[in-house]
Chains A and B, each alone.
Chain A
Amino acid sequence: MGDDTMTSAVRDKVIALIAEQAMLPVGDVRADASMADLGIDSLGLVESIFAIEEAFDISVPFNANEPSASDFDISTVASVVAGVEKLIAEQKG
Chain B
Amino acid sequence: MRRVVITGQGTINALADTVAGTFEAFREGRCGIGPLEMRDVDRLAIQIGGQVKGYDPHAEFNRQEISLYDRFTQFTLHAAREAIGQSGLTFEGALAADSGVILGTSGGGLNTQDENYRAVYEEGKNRVHPFVVPKLMNNAATSHVSMRYNLKGPSFTVATACASSNHAMGQAFQFIRSGMATVMITGGSESMLCFGGVKAWEGLRVMSKDACRPFSANRNGMVQGEGAAIFVMEEYDHARKRGAEILAEVVGFAMTSDASDIVMPSRQGAARAMTGALRDARLNASDVGYINAHGTGTAANDKTECAAVSDAFGAHADDLMISSTKSMHGHVIGGTGAIELLACIMALREAVIAPTIGYEEPDPECALDVVPNEAREASVDTVLSNAFAFGGLNAVLALQAV
Contacts and interface: CB of A to CB of B under 8 A. Distances in A.
A65 B264 contact: no
Nearest to B264: A42
Contacts, number: 36
A43 B300 CA distance: 12
A89 B203 CA distance: 23
A21 to B, nearest CB: 15
B331 interface: no
Interface string B217-233: 00111000000000000
Interface in A34-87: 42-43, 46, 49-50, 62-66, 69
A50 B205 CA distance: 10
B262 interface: yes
Contacts of B299: 64-66
A65 B203 contact: no
Interface string A24-36: 0000000000000
Interface string B240-268: 00000000000000000000011110000
Contacts of A66: 220, 299
Given A43-B262, A62-B205, 17 more contacts: A42-B264, A43-B261, A43-B263, A43-B264, A49-B205, A63-B221, A64-B206, A64-B298, A65-B206, A65-B208, A65-B219, A65-B220, A65-B221, A65-B299, A65-B300, A66-B220, A66-B299
Interface of A: 42-43, 46, 49-50, 62-66, 69
19 contacts: A42-B263, A43-B261, A43-B262, A43-B264, A46-B204, A46-B205, A49-B205, A63-B206, A63-B207, A63-B220, A64-B204, A64-B206, A65-B208, A65-B219, A65-B220, A65-B221, A65-B298, A65-B299, A69-B220
